[in-house]
């Protein structure tokens, strides 16, 4: 296992110099943030990102993410051109020697929350989600007023997207995912890149949009779309864990045992009601998930890929990108490293 940390590049206030003072971290997970959506990632830029990370003593353990253009997900006529560009990015990742590609297939919205700074009783702040709050959100003005949403769609663009997905439905989205994988996975095989789809977060439909990567049944279906070891998962415990019917240790054993988990996001979450949860500190006692059993499942299946602590709370007065401050993620890294060390002794 390569314990890693997400870094948002040179403009991230959480610098590599700070990250390297967290004793247990070996890998950095990052992306190129200046390539327009849909364009090919240039080899030189990937190489220089890798060199920057290596200069500080880390490996670039995964790319998170190369976003998938909405027109690929919607199956619009220009998808072949966009998929060719995506394939070229995968080839360049392979040439640069970056082994894992995290991406998602969530329509329009990536991870979504209703409150970016919910106060917890200990004085920290965490991200939270409640279906009831989300239903009240006004989409008529586009995405710019939504909490934490960075891609900007104006009212017209957003309406067209929402209508497009309504027509498409869940089955159509599965078909378009299969189409995308049939073209990209062979390229990933040739390039020695493992593709790792991130689950939908929250793992259920929001705003009437289809969201399909959400539970064990969808994982079962996903692996058959293209049956290749390069077609796997970024298993995110915090995302899938918001559904009480997801037995995470069992899913890790099953899909890890098949060699299909290529990247592990490990964090806890507290389920507070139907369609409602908030994020917590990483330890088991802080939330609804049994973190020891999750880590044990990774250890028992001999997980060798990158693993990272995930969203942290804001603690000790830190301000910054919600979920991606330094302090609580560093605590999370230490906790995961402690569990992992103990689990290795037991073997």
Residue 115 tokens read as 């409150």
Candidates 41, 111, 298, 335; binder of ligand DNO (CB under 6 A) is: 111
d(CA 333, CA 24): 7
Q: Out of 103, 219, 263, 340, point to the residue binding ligand DNO (CB under 6 A).
A: 103
Catalytic option among 153, 311, 328, 335: 311
Q: Is 69 a catalytic residue?
A: no
Which of 198, 262, 278, 282 is labelled catalytic? 198
Q: Which of 103, 219, 236, 282 is catalytic?
A: 236
CB of 318 to ligand DNO, least distance (A): 17
282 is catalytic: no
* 324 is known as an active-site residue: yes
Catalytic pick from 86, 298, 324, 335? 324
Residue 27, H or E segment: strand 27-30
For residue 116, how many other CB atoms are within 10 A of its CB?
Answer: 15
The reply to whether 40 sits near ligand DNO by the rule CB under 6 A is no
Q: Does 102 bind ligand DNO (CB under 6 A)?
A: yes
Window 306-325: residues binding ligand DNO (CB under 6 A): 311, 323
Cβ closest to ligand DNO, residue 74 vs residue 106? 106
261: β partners: 233
In eight-state DSSP terms, residue 315 is -
Q: How far apart are CA 212 and CA 75, in angstroms?
A: 16
In the complex, minimum distance from the CB of residue 214 to ligand DNO, in angstroms, rounded to a whole number: 13
CA 136 to centroid of chain Cα atoms: 26
Q: Looking only at residues 261 through 280 of this chain, which bind ligand DNO when binding is defined by CB under 6 A?
A: 265
Q: Which of 5, 60, 64, 246 binds ligand DNO (CB under 6 A)?
A: 64
Write down the least CB distance from residue 89 to ligand DNO, Å.
Answer: 14
Question: In whole angstroms, how far apart are CA 181 and each of 60, 62, 141, 244, 323?
Answer: 24, 19, 34, 29, 30
C-alpha separations of 288 from 239, 241, 270, 282 in Å: 12, 8, 5, 10
**Site map (CB under 6 A) of ligand DNO, residues 209-238, x = contact:** ---------------------------x--
Position 198 contacts ligand DNO (CB under 6 A) = yes
Task: Select 118 or 343, whichever has its Cβ closest to ligand DNO.
Answer: 118
Q: What whole-number distance in Å separates Cα of residue 309 and Cα of residue 299?
A: 16
| Spatial separation of the C-alpha atoms in residues 206 and 28, rounded to whole Å | 31
Taking the C-alpha atoms of residue 178 and residue 180, their distance in angstroms, rounded to an integer, is 5
Minimum separation from the CB atom of position 4 to ligand DNO (A): 13
Size of the site for ligand DNO (CB under 6 A): 12
Dihedral over alpha carbons 168, 174, 180, 182 (to 10 degrees): -140
Alpha-helical regions (H) of 61-201: 70-73, 79-96, 131-135, 155-191
Q: Is residue 104 at the binding interface for ligand DNO, with CB under 6 A as the rule?
A: yes
Instruction: Tell whether residue 65 is a contact of ligand DNO (CB under 6 A).
Output: yes
Q: Which two tokens stand for residue 39?
A: 């364009």
Q: Taking a C-beta distance cutoff of 8 angstroms, is the pair 28, 57 a contact?
A: no
Question: Which segment (53-61, 102-110, 246-254, 277-285) binds ligand DNO by CB under 6 A?
Answer: 102-110
Catalytic residue list: 198, 236, 265, 310-311, 324
User: Which spans of this chain sit near ligand DNO (rule: CB under 6 A)?
Assistant: 64-65, 102-104, 110-111, 198, 236, 265, 311, 323
């Amino acid at each position: 296992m390569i314990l890693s940390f997400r870094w948002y590049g040179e403009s991230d206030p959480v610098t590599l110099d700070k990250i390297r003072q967290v004793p247990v971290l070996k890998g950095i997970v990052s992306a190129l943030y200046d390539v327009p959506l849909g364009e090919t990632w240039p080899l030189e830029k990937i190489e220089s990102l890798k060199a920057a990370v290596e200069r500080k003593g880390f490996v670039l353990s995964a790319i998170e993410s190369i976003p998938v253009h909405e027109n690929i997900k919607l199956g619009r006529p220009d998808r072949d051109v966009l998929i060719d560009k995506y394939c070229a990015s995968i080839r360049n990742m392979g040439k640069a020697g970056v082994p894992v590609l995290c991406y998602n297939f969530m329509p329009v919205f990536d991870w979504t929350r209703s409150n970016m700074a919910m106060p917890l009783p200990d004085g920290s702040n965490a991200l939270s989600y409640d279906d009831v709050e989300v239903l009240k959100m006004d989409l008529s003005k586009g995405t710019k007023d939504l909490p934490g949403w960075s891609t900007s769609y104006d009212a017209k663009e957003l309406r067209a997207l929402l209508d497009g997905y309504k027509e498409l439905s869940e089955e159509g989205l599965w078909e378009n995912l299969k189409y995308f994988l049939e073209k990209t996975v062979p390229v990933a095989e040739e390039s020695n890149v493992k593709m790792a789809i991130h689950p939908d977060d929250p793992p259920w439909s929001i705003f009437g949009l289809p969201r399909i990567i959400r539970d064990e049944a969808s994982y079962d279906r996903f692996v058959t779309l293209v049956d290749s070891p390069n077609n796997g998962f970024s298993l995110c415990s915090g995302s899938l864990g918001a559904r009480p019917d997801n037995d995470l240790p069992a899913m890790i054993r099953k899909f890890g045992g098949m060699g299909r988990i290529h990247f592990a996001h490990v964090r806890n979450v507290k389920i507070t009601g139907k369609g409602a949860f908030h994020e917590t500190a990483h330890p088991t006692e802080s939330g609804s998930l049994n973190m020891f059993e999750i880590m044990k499942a990774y250890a028992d299946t001999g997980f060798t890929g990158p693993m990272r602590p995930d969203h942290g709370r804001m603690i000790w007065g830190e301000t910054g990108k919600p979920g991606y401050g330094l302090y609580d993620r560093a605590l999370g890294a230490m906790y995961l490293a402690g569990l992992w060390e103990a689990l290795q002794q037991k073997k």
